[in-house]
Structures are given as C-alpha cells and as structure tokens.
Chains A and B, each alone.
Chain A
Amino acid sequence: MAKVELQQVRKVYPGGLEAVKGVSLAVPDGAFCVLVGPSGCGKSTLLRMVAGLEMITEGEIRIGDLRVNEREPAERDIAMVFQNYALYPHMSVYDNMAYGLRNRGTPRAEVDRRVREVAKILEIADYLDRKPRALSGGQRQRVAMGRAIVRQPKAFLFDEPLSNLDAKLRVSMRVEIRKLQRDFATTSLYVTHDQLEAMTLADMLVVMNAGQVEQIGPPLDVYQKPATTFVAAFIGAPPMNLLALRPAEAASLLAGAPLPIPAEGAILGVRPEHMVLNPAGTGPAPGLRLEIGVVAAELVGSESFVYGRTDRGAEIIVRVPGHDVPAPGARAVATAAREHLHLFSHDGSHRLVE
C-alpha cells in the first residue's frame, strides 16, 4: 500500500502525437482514484505509464516515495486488471493466479495459501482447476481480480475492467470492486469512460480531456461544482444544459437573479434534474426562465426527459418526474432556481461564480 504521485507527466508518441500533456496527480494511500474521460483523452495511456507498459516522455511517477520511471512493470509492485481480462488461456485458474507469485520466487506453500484464500473471498474456489474458457464473463473478471489481489501489490490498476460485461453484471461487479477495494484498502487507479461508474466508485475523480486534467475532486464536488463546461457536460446524464449568454440577454432570462455577466459574455449551465417544466404562459419566476418548444420526450419509466429548443435555437433537456409530458410541438416554460445555476467563462475554461 502506498500513495501514487504523478508530476508533470507527459507522453509524446514517436509520431509526434502528444497523448498526455503534463498531468500532475497525487493519489493518497488507500484511495480509489477514477480517471474518466471520452475515448482518446489519454486516460489509458496515463494508466499504462503508471503500470510501466508505456515509456514516460517527461515528468516523474512515484509509487510510495519511489521513483519508478525506469523500472520494469514487475519491479513497480503494481497489479493490473485488463479490459479483456488477459487470462492465460492454457493455464488453470489456480495457475493464472499463482503465476505472478511463482515468478517472484514465493515459496510454494505461501503461494497455495494465498491463492486459496483469495479464491475463497472472490467465490471462485470451486473453479480453481478450470481453464478460463470454461468460465463465464463475470467469473473471468473475478479471476482477473484475484490475480491482482494475490500479489498484494502497492497499487491496483484497472483498465476499463467492466466494459466487456453486460449491463446487469456490470452493476454488481461495480459494487463488488468497490467493496473489495475498501476491504483491502489498496490504492487504486481505475480508468473508465462511463461517468456513472466513475461517480459511484471514486473517492477521487479525475476528469480528463485531450491529454489534460480538467478537474480533480470528490465525485460529488465534481458534480456540484464542475470546473469547466467540459466537466459539466461530461459528468451527469443527461448532460448539463449549457447556454451562451450575452450581458444584454441576462436581464430577460434571469429575473430576480442578477448574475455578473462579463462584457465578453458567459456560459450558463443548469442540470436537467434541476429544471422545472411549467405550462406555457407561466409568469416570471426568480431564477432562470426559458420559453421552449418541445421537440421530443423520452420516457424512462420513473422519470422522463423532455427535449426542447429555445427561440434562439439552444437545446434544452428537462427532467420531469413521472411520465406526464407535453406533446412534441407544444410550448412550455422551463425554470430553474438561482442556487442551481452555474456560470462559466465564455470559453468554458473556468467557473465565474462559486
């Protein structure tokens, strides 16, 4: 167990592509850190650099106060869980789990003890003699986890481990991974593109975009106070509504809720779940008031999402409890209270109001 620190880590591929543009990050001992971002944002590359599978172009990675830049993956004392599990197909589950320990010269009795213990925790003790191909996806996932756990490494690295599972299994494995990580209190880095997975698993959420960190913080903080419009749109489903705003328009849209709109304009953000849909003709209310034309509605069951368009062409999503939604083509008024409004700079690079 150890903390993992990254200092100004950069990765430039031989072709000149800069995949990671100077990322600094400190994961405290025992924390569950989730790297989330769209595909191609450099999150996997970053994880693979921590693992030692990619060379570090610049910067420094430290695992437990030890600089690991020049070390082979095996010498870094980390364990990795791969997206497609990467189990050795010709080895039994037992051998898969024991392989790393044996390579380190762990005594046979110790290997046996640890493998059986972990297999019991993961409920795969009955499958120890089977080959991976005789297991289901979820069982393979457990074996892959077991292979990481038996090593008792300083850190676990997960590279989208749940994306090959079906939706139902994904949820149960997610809960299980979280529980295991708490039990073992091992520092973990977890890469995913699924914001729901990121929100539910993380102690510490790192949102990445185009090789850079957009925001670091506890999941709820990131949700409540997104630092940039990218984070605002990425975290939360459906994404936050974002409206470009000129100072002149502020007065008509924001009745009784004066917001300091700079001269160059700003971007106003409000989450669909914080908006209320009122019948057309509803009068002014304190906060945001938008007249929209309903375009479509999605009925999810317990709630519905109404897609609308303002007269200026901005798309707005409003969450409506239940399934009583206006028909497409109808007019409506969407409102939101002052405390739910987010204001970003006109280029979306930072927040204007806390």
Chain B
Amino acid sequence: MVENKPWLTALAHLTLIVGVAIVVFPVWIAFVASTRTGSELITGVVPLTPGPHLIENYSRVLGEGLSTGGMPPIGGMMFNSLVMALVIAGGKIAISLLSAFAIVYFRFPLRLVAFWMIFLTLMLPVEVRIVPTFQVIADLGMLNSYTGLTVPLIASATATFLFRQVFMTIPDELAEAARVDGAGPMKFFRDILIPLSRTNMAALFVILFIYGWNQYLWPLLVTTDAGYYTVVMGIQRMVQAGDDEPIWEMIMATTILAMLPPVIVVLLMQKLFVKGLVETEK
C-alpha cells in the first residue's frame, strides 16, 4: 500500500480536502451567521465572510439572553449541559465498571441471566422506553431536577459490555497473583483492573460525554423550568420563540458555543481516546 507517486498523493489530499470542506462548511456558515446582524441574514443571500458583530452578538448571548424569547442567558444552560454530560458519562462508567467486574469475576446464581438482561437493554434506547420512563420520573417527583435529567440515562449496556470484553482479556493469572499477594476483590478492582482499563475509560468518557451533551429529547420532556434547560434543547426553543422571526445571529452564536465543550473534550483526550480504541496489548 505504500506507494510514492506524486499524483496519488495529490489525489489523496484532494479527496481529504473535499471531505473536510463538506464537513466544515455548515460550521463555517454558522460561525459567519453568528457575526452578522439579523437583517443581513434574512435577505436571502447568505454571506460567506464574517461580519463585524462578533463580540456584540456573543456578549449578548452570554450576558443577557433573549428577553423576547423567554430565554435565560446561555451561561446557565451551558452549565446544565455540562452537569448533565459529566454526570451521565461518569455515572455510566462507574456503574458499568462495577457490573462488568461482577459479571466477569464472580460466580453468583443467575449470573448469565443477569448478563443477558443487561445485554437485552441494548435494544431499548431512551426513545423506545421514553413514555414509561417519563411516567416513573414524574411519579418520583424528579421533573425539573438534575437527578431527573441524568439518572434515566446512566444505565449502559454498551459500556458494561465493553468493560466485560476488556476484563476478559486480562489474564486469570493476574487475578491469582493478586490473591496470593493478599489483595481482596475490591483491592484487586482498584489497584489492578481500573489502572489497566484506564485508556478504555478515557475513550468511553469522550463518547459518553458527547452523548450526554447532545441529549435533546429527554431534557425537552423533563424540564419545564428555564433554570434546568440544557443548551441543545435551548437552541431549538430559540428557533421557535414566539411569533417573531428567529433571531439567527443569536441562535448561531449559541450553536457555536454549544459545540465548543465536546470539541475541547475530544482535543484534550485525543491521545488516550485513540489508544483506548486501538490498544490490544495487555
């Protein structure tokens, strides 16, 4: 596969550039829109270069919010999204680590049944079970709360399954050596299993953080109090605010800001993330 022909290199670059352009173009348009005024945007001709209103638009989104649309400043929504994404990612990792540990290392009655029950929930994403889940959360009085936003999304068959596979690649002798060395089950878990699955945890964290951050339908259902809005559903509310024309420059500024945290997480954890996805050596 390693060939050194100039035109092949050029072709490869061209393909990649076209691909990148296709992916990045909408983001660029959103950025351009967030630096213009509303009147410039509704003329029908979409400008392709940034305008002069960048600071003005962003400070308004961050500071005052949109009084006409009943929108609080975006800072609070970003905070809610952050709490939601972090709690979901952290909770999912913690719970699936423990359940995978139980399934792989302990022999208890109905162990296989438990495993298959977890596995079956893979087929039941939030959207499928949304009505009964909403009922339960409503009955428990958890609407408009961080608990209501996060708890129903925490259980994760995918992550449990992933950690199960990771643990199964760890040789049995390691567990036996730890037993001889006087490490009890939880000590083995903490001192050996967790450090060995660190890269997998990082990879999973990135994926789950983005999953949690991008949640749309569930926050839309369980929050009616503006204090608990998340930024992704907030964008949608801004589009539909009242009878007025949507204030596109504000919406786009919010969109750009909403994209930043996932981007930061990916950039910061990129190295670990890739390692966790490709590493096979234990």
Does B associate with A? yes
Q: Is the CB of B180 within 8 A of A74?
A: yes
Identify which of residues 2-27 in chain B touch chain A, using a CB-to-CB cut-off of 8 Å: none
A164 to chain B, nearest CB (A): 12
A87-B171 Cα distance, complex, nearest whole Å: 10
Q: Is the CB of B174 within 8 A of A88?
A: yes
A104-B180 Cα distance, complex, nearest whole Å: 11
Q: Is the CB of B180 within 8 A of A84?
A: no
A117-B207 Cα distance, complex, nearest whole Å: 47
Known: A53-B176, A53-B180, A79-B180. 13 other contacts (CB 8 A): A51-B180, A53-B179, A74-B179, A78-B180, A82-B176, A82-B177, A83-B173, A86-B173, A88-B178, A89-B196, A90-B195, A99-B181, A147-B181
Q: Is the CB of B181 within 8 A of A74?
A: yes
Is the CB of A72 closer than 8 A to any CB of chain B?
A: yes
Q: Is the CB of B182 within 8 A of A100?
A: yes
Q: Is the CB of B181 within 8 A of A103?
A: yes
Q: Is the CB of A72 within 8 A of B179?
A: yes
A84-B176 Cα distance, complex, nearest whole Å: 12
Size of A's binding interface in residues, CB under 8 A: 23
Is the CB of A9 closer than 8 A to any CB of chain B?
A: no
Is the CB of B282 closer than 8 A to any CB of chain A?
A: yes
Is the CB of A80 closer than 8 A to any CB of chain B?
A: yes
Is the CB of B40 closer than 8 A to any CB of chain A?
A: no
Q: Is the CB of B191 within 8 A of A100?
A: no
Complex interface: chain B residues within 8 A of A82 (CB): 173, 176-177
Is the CB of A73 closer than 8 A to any CB of chain B?
A: yes
Q: Is the CB of B171 within 8 A of A84?
A: yes
Most buried by B among A72, A86, A103, A104: A86
Is the CB of B187 closer than 8 A to any CB of chain A?
A: yes
User: Interface on B for A, CB 8 Å cutoff?
Assistant: 171, 173-174, 176-183, 187, 191-192, 195-196, 198, 281-282
A83-B171 Cα distance, complex, nearest whole Å: 12
Tell me the interface secondary structure of chain B in the complex.
helix
28 contacts between A and B (CB under 8 A): A51-B176, A51-B180, A53-B176, A53-B179, A73-B176, A74-B179, A74-B180, A78-B180, A79-B180, A80-B177, A80-B180, A82-B176, A82-B177, A83-B173, A88-B177, A89-B282, A90-B195, A90-B198, A99-B178, A99-B181, A99-B183, A100-B182, A103-B182, A103-B183, A103-B187, A104-B182, A133-B281, A147-B181
User: Interface on A for B, CB 8 Å cutoff?
Assistant: 51-53, 72-74, 78-80, 82-84, 86-90, 99-100, 103-104, 133, 147
A90-B282 Cα distance, complex, nearest whole Å: 9
A79-B173 Cα distance, complex, nearest whole Å: 13
Complex interface: chain A residues within 8 A of B191 (CB): 88, 99
Q: Is the CB of B182 within 8 A of A86?
A: no
Most buried by B among A51, A52, A73: A73
Complex interface: chain A residues within 8 A of B171 (CB): 84, 86
Most buried by A among B173, B179, B181, B196: B181
A74-B180 Cα distance, complex, nearest whole Å: 5
A22 to chain B, nearest CB (A): 25
Complex interface: chain A residues within 8 A of B183 (CB): 74, 99, 103
A104-B176 Cα distance, complex, nearest whole Å: 16
Q: Is the CB of A86 within 8 A of B282?
A: no
Q: Is the CB of A86 within 8 A of B176?
A: yes
A90-B182 Cα distance, complex, nearest whole Å: 18
Q: Is the CB of A80 within 8 A of B196?
A: no
Complex interface: chain B residues within 8 A of A147 (CB): 177, 181
A150 to chain B, nearest CB (A): 11
B262 to chain A, nearest CB (A): 29
Q: Which of B173, B182, B192 contacts A74 (CB 8 A)?
A: B182
Complex interface: chain B residues within 8 A of A87 (CB): 177
Complex interface: chain A residues within 8 A of B195 (CB): 90
B172 to chain A, nearest CB (A): 9
A11-B154 Cα distance, complex, nearest whole Å: 44
- Whether A80 touches B282, Cβ cut-off 8 Å, given contacts A100-B182, A103-B183, is no
Closest chain B residue to A95 by CB distance?
B191
The 7 closest A-B pairs by CB, nearest first: A74-B182, A86-B173, A100-B181, A103-B182, A86-B177, A90-B195, A73-B180
Complex interface: chain A residues within 8 A of B182 (CB): 74, 100, 103-104
A104-B192 Cα distance, complex, nearest whole Å: 17
Closest chain A residue to B198 by CB distance?
A90
A244-B181 Cα distance, complex, nearest whole Å: 51
- Whether A86 touches B179, Cβ cut-off 8 Å, given contacts A99-B191, A103-B187, is no
Closest chain B residue to A103 by CB distance?
B182
Complex interface: chain A residues within 8 A of B282 (CB): 89
A52 to chain B, nearest CB (A): 8
Q: Which of B177, B187, B196 contacts A90 (CB 8 A)?
A: B196
Complex interface: chain B residues within 8 A of A103 (CB): 181-183, 187
Q: Is the CB of B187 within 8 A of A80?
A: no
A245 to chain B, nearest CB (A): 47
Complex interface: chain B residues within 8 A of A84 (CB): 171, 173
Complex interface: chain A residues within 8 A of B192 (CB): 88, 90
Complex interface: chain A residues within 8 A of B173 (CB): 82-84, 86
A228 to chain B, nearest CB (A): 33
Closest chain A residue to B173 by CB distance?
A86
A73-B187 Cα distance, complex, nearest whole Å: 15
Q: Is the CB of B174 within 8 A of A80?
A: no
B49 to chain A, nearest CB (A): 51
